């Protein structure tokens, strides 16, 4: 599992996004976006109600300490595709509560929201760093704490283990980690070179890589996520999106040149055969 944490200013923006998805141009498209998200609140803590009611409750409590500029704690938790269906609803709630305990907001407002718009299960936990009483929930060392907590949850619930960020590991662990990453990068590079060689466009490269088990993120650049949910940019293995496009164009040019050469060779052979036929006829006529 992979966990990410961000802190923010707007409960309204965060909760609307989690319930409704990205803002669309028309009402019809917005409804389709919401239907695709399939957002469901599976747990409430110190709060309850509709989206609007939750926003109002979170804002009211956050105003108890206006010195905190970013009262929104938003954690996203992605489970490995191989773990699909392994966790019960109660397991997911227990994991959300364990996260709340780890990051010191178990006695504060928070909700756990699941989505079903991707190939792997994922959950969001939105909490109010400010409570009715007690200290504000700390966000210090959140990346390191989240990585350690994910490894703990993987063991506790027998989930597929995912690599921790390298900078949070002990020196002796970093060596083994870097070796594993190098092997992953090399395997990705070999697979990508193979996929490019079999393709005529970036879209075809994406299809070929997906057939090999990689998830492909394609936008201004390109990135690949392997079966262990480890993500690499194309540039990290020597093939940025621009590099791939250049390689594909070069392949197309070589292919065109080869086809033209084959056509020229075929014409030459045809002309040679025609010439030999005419010579044979001519020599045959003289002998008579």
Are 175 and 150 members of one domain?
Answer: no
When mean pLDDT is compared across 111-115, 218-222, 274-278, the lowest value belongs to 274-278
CA gyration radius, the chain: 29
Query: HSE on the CB side for 256, CA within 13 Å?
Result: 7
Locate tokens 């995912």: which residue?
162
The answer to whether the pTM exceeds 0.75 is: no
When mean pLDDT is compared across 8-22, 109-123, 273-287, the lowest value belongs to 273-287
- Whole-angstrom distance, CA of residue 85 vs CA of residue 121: 8
| Number of C-beta neighbours around residue 73 at 10 A | 27
Are 20 and 143 members of one domain?
Answer: yes
Mean pLDDT, range 218-237, rounded to an integer: 86
CATH classification at residue 157: 3.30.930.30
Are 259 and 150 members of one domain?
Answer: no
Are 106 and 49 members of one domain?
Answer: yes
Its domain, for residue 46, covers 2-162
Are 132 and 236 members of one domain?
Answer: no
Mean pLDDT, range 160-186, rounded to an integer: 65
When mean pLDDT is compared across 56-60, 75-79, 127-131, the lowest value belongs to 75-79
User: Which tops the pLDDT comparison, 119 or 114?
Assistant: 114
286, pLDDT greater than 60: no
100, pLDDT greater than 70: yes
37 three-state secondary structure? helix
Mean pLDDT, range 120-145, rounded to an integer: 87
Residue 179: what pLDDT? 60
123, pLDDT greater than 60: yes
Are 220 and 89 members of one domain?
Answer: no
Q: What is the percent of the chain with per-residue pLDDT over 90, rounded to a whole number?
A: 50
When mean pLDDT is compared across 10-24, 140-154, 178-192, the lowest value belongs to 178-192
């Amino acid at each position: 599992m992979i966990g990410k944490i961000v802190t923010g200013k707007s409960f309204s923006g965060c909760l609307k996004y989690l319930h409704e998805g990205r803002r669309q141009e028309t009402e019809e498209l917005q409804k389709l976006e919401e239907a695709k998200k399939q957002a469901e609140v599976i747990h409430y803590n110190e709060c309850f109600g509709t989206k609007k009611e939750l926003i109002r409750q979170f804002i009211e409590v956050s105003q108890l300490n206006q010195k905190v500029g970013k009262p929104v704690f938003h954690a996203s938790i992605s489970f490995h595709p191989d773990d699909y269906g392994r966790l019960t609803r109660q397991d997911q709630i227990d994991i959300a509560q364990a996260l709340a305990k780890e990051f010191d907001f178990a006695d504060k407002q928070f909700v756990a929201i699941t989505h079903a718009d991707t190939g792997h299960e994922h959950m969001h936990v939105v909490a109010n760093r400010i409570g009715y009483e007690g200290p504000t929930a700390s966000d210090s060392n959140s990346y390191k704490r989240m990585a350690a907590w994910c490894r703990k949850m993987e063991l506790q619930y027998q989930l597929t283990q995912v690599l921790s960020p390298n900078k949070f590991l002990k020196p002796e662990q970093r060596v083994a980690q870097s070796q594993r990453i190098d092997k992953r990068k090399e395997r990705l590079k070999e697979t990508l070179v193979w996929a490019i060689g079999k393709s005529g466009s970036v879209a075809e490269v994406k299809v070929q890589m997906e057939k090999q088990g990689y998830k492909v993120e394609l936008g201004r650049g390109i990135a690949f996520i392997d079966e262990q949910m480890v993500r690499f940019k194309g540039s990290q293995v020597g093939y940025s999106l621009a590099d791939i496009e250049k390689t594909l164009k070069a392949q197309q040019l070589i292919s065109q040149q080869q086809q033209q050469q084959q056509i020229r060779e075929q014409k030459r052979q045809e002309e040679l055969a025609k010439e030999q036929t005419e010579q044979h006829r001519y020599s045959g006529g003289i002998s008579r």
